[in-house]
Amino acid sequence: MKRSKENRRLGPLEEGEIEKQVKFWIKRAQRTAEGTENLDRADRMQLNLQLNSEGLLECRGRIQGQYPIYLPDCHTLTEKIVNEGHLRTLHGGTGATMTQVRERYWVPRQRRLARDRTRDAVDGSELKPLQPHRQASYPLISPKVPKHSKLWESTLPGRSSIESRRNKREKPT
């Protein structure tokens, strides 16, 4: 809901505002999963999913008071949260990523998501350099340097600045 100009808040985001938006997106992800086959009755019973006071599905387990929030494995939000966990562990691997995410969330088939994320990072496809024939080549000599200057002579192929000096010394004799 968009606020009117008089009611808008200015300045940096507060922690409460961020948490409110995160809960909104989690509810949305959970609602989309309920309409698919991924969250059937058997999964609900096996995970012991129950609504909390905020309307979020939690996985109730044997540990009292610690209930991770359920996230469907097929949603983009879940992929983003797993990716954030991977980055927070400084690319720590599958186990570290899973531990980071499970502190707050429960994702079915999380190992697959974490493994795929760490495998993509190890592959480093986004970090591979361009092929040599595709790399940009820059001219060694700037067009702003006049052709009759000493700098131009020293940068000609096959001539070093030392050779240029020797030639100048030899000419007067």
Q: Is residue 132 part of a domain?
A: no
Domain with 64, as residue range(s), is 15-124
User: What is the pLDDT, as a whole number, of residue 172?
Assistant: 54
Taking the C-alpha atoms of residue 111 and residue 95, their distance in angstroms, rounded to an integer, is 8
Q: Is residue 21 part of a domain?
A: yes
Domain count of the fold of the chain: 2
Q: Is residue 133 part of a domain?
A: no
Same domain, 71 and 113: yes
User: What is the pLDDT, as a whole number, of residue 63?
Assistant: 74
- Asked if 86 and 121 count as a contact pair (C-beta separation under 8 A), the reply is yes
Q: Which of 100, 98, 106, 99 is nearest to 48 (CA)?
A: 106
pTM score = 0.61
- 105-136 pLDDT, tens per residue? 998 888 888 888 777 665 555 444 445 555 55
